[in-house]
Structure 1
Amino acid sequence: MALKGGLKTVDNILYRNIQIQGTSCYLCHGCSETTSHFLFECNYSFMVLTRLIPYFQIFYLRPTIFQALDHIGGLSVADNIKKGMLLILNAIIYFLWNECNIRCFNSNVVFVVTLTKKISRAIYLKVYRWKNGDFLKDILNLKHK
């Protein structure tokens, strides 16, 4: 859905003529919420991305989801590391979307550090029993706690 612009961000909701009260991003409250802002122009989402995949710190500008996928695909690392990074990227998108909805409907706020630990733990548990799971946990710097 993120690749096809199908996330129900504020701009997509307004495009469908559904009226809502707030139009600012629930993660940073600084900009209008669009798919491109949500992934990864937003300071909050970009900090989550760079904490979990430090390779993105070399970008001069914030990557789009397409650029992020292309960047991971173009890295000269082993395929299992690329697959691990793609798993992390997908988890980031899922958890960011979940965090956005929690903020929208419950007014609870989770800080970047807490969310990255939550994502790291989820990925750690996912790769726990994989054949190269221990190698991936170490190389991708995944933590259980």
Structure 2
Amino acid sequence: MQQTVLAAEAVPTRGWSDRRVQFLKFIIINFIAYWIRGSIIPKGCHKIINRLCSRPERFGGLSIPFIDSLYHGKYTFPWKPPNSYASKTWKLICNTALLIKNKISFGISKDSNLSMYWDPWCNGKAIAELLDCYWLGPQLVSNYISESNWIIPIFFPRQVADIILRIPIRDHDSIAWEGSSNFQFKNFTAHYFSDLIEVPWHKFIWHKNHVVRFSAYAWMALMSKLKTAYVLAARSIPISSGCPFCLIAPKSHKHLVIAALIPSLDAFFLRPNLFQAFDFLDSFQNFNSFDKRFCFLTICVEIYHIWREMNLRRFSNYWNSPYFIISSVSKEIKMTISNWKHYDQLLHNFPNIHG
């Protein structure tokens, strides 16, 4: 397939510069490789990854909205019961629409494109519910409005017609969440994930000044997702359990990010885990919010570089000196906070930033 695509684009690209053609080939090769890689991953893994990543940050996820695929034109109204041949994605959309039905309300205008029978614009209910009839067609609300007046079909019961006539016709369509027109997507996610338990550590890694590259590794460490010896052993994958730094203690999340990072903690019998380290810094009364975010960022940067160094020592049989690692961490921190609003204040509170 890859060679066929490359051959097909050879003729129309004649006369292009070598760099331009090479760049185009690079895109095609990597695009195909990306989809082949995705097709190899089992569907169960895809579901777990999508479910985990779509959770809000405060519930332990990455707050990445995900829709498996766009629905087709034959699926028009999410509150209409889906057909038996509807896709799984569309059925999920319909189920989600039912979950938020009592949270939203619609304002009607003469040009409204809401479904006359299926959308819950009539005091939170659909006309199909009021009529107890589910064979109705896809007509729009605007088809039953003429010159800002309702045109009620003659087969509507009197009580249903009275309810519709009391619905005001506005100048513009509107939608409200719990009665407020000033809503955001986070209002929906808060309701959708309301049955989950909020994690107490999300503010430590997803703060206002977080850097995704570093926070992602801290998130994996807190979720016990870094592939340490303990995690791999739980999945029946044998690997040397020795820490690549001290070569003595078993390699685990707790030892890797705390004991290996701060050797002086070996003197403590009760060694803190990563969450306790974050919480300890958060409890400092002399630290303001900027100081705390700086400390949280520092831990995330350290985790990132320690994990990289561990993989370098294990798979490349090469290691950097502790001074080089410290220098790399310090350099990353300096570059990151140099654009912060309260940079001068941080220099005053932490004079060792510049070494």
TM (normalized to structure 1)?
A: 0.81
CA change 1:137–1:97 in 2 (3 A) is: farther
Provide the alpha-carbon RMSD of the alignment.
2.0
CA change 1:113–1:78 in 2 (3 A) is: same
After superposition, give the CA deviation of every residue in 1:67-98 in whole Å (9 maximum; x if it has no partner).
10110110111110011000001111111111
Cα separation, 2, equivalents of 1:78 and 1:32: 37
Aligned to 1:28: 246
Is 1:121 the counterpart of 2:331? The answer is: yes
CA change 1:60–1:113 in 2 (3 A) is: farther
Cα separation, 1, equivalents of 2:241 and 2:293: 35
Deviation at 1:111, TM superposition (A): 2.3
Q: How does 1:65-80 map to 2 (within 5 A)?
A: 65-76=274-285, 77-80=287-290
Larger radius of gyration: 2
Aligned to 2:235: 16
Aligned to 1:103: 313
Deviation at 1:139, TM superposition (A): 2.8
CA change 1:132–1:38 in 2 (3 A) is: same
What secondary structure, in the 3-state scheme, does the structure 2 residue paired with 1:31 have? Answer: coil
Equivalent residues, number = 132
Aligned to 1:46: 262
Cα separation, 2, equivalents of 1:134 and 1:122: 17
What secondary structure, in the 3-state scheme, does the structure 2 residue paired with 1:7 have? Answer: coil
Give the helix-richer structure, 1 or 2: 1
CA contact (8 A) 1:127 1:137 kept: no
Deviation at 1:138, TM superposition (A): 4.5
- 1:66 maps to a residue whose letter is F
Q: Which runs of 4+ in 1 moved over 3 A?
A: 59-62
What secondary structure, in the 3-state scheme, does the structure 2 residue paired with 1:2 have? Answer: helix
Deviation at 1:60, TM superposition (A): 7.2
What secondary structure, in the 3-state scheme, does the structure 2 residue paired with 1:116 have? Answer: helix
Cα separation, 2, equivalents of 1:98 and 1:142: 22
TM (normalized to structure 2)?
A: 0.35
CA change 1:105–1:137 in 2 (3 A) is: farther
Aligned to 1:142: 353
Counting aligned pairs with the same residue, the percent is: 27
What secondary structure, in the 3-state scheme, does the structure 1 residue paired with 2:354 have? Answer: coil
In structure 1, runs of 5+ residues without a counterpart are 51-55
CA contact (8 A) 1:127 1:133 kept: yes
Is 1:3 the counterpart of 2:212? The answer is: no
After superposition, give the CA deviation of every residue in 1:96-139 in whole Å (9 maximum; x if it has no partner).
11111111111222222221111011000001121112332443
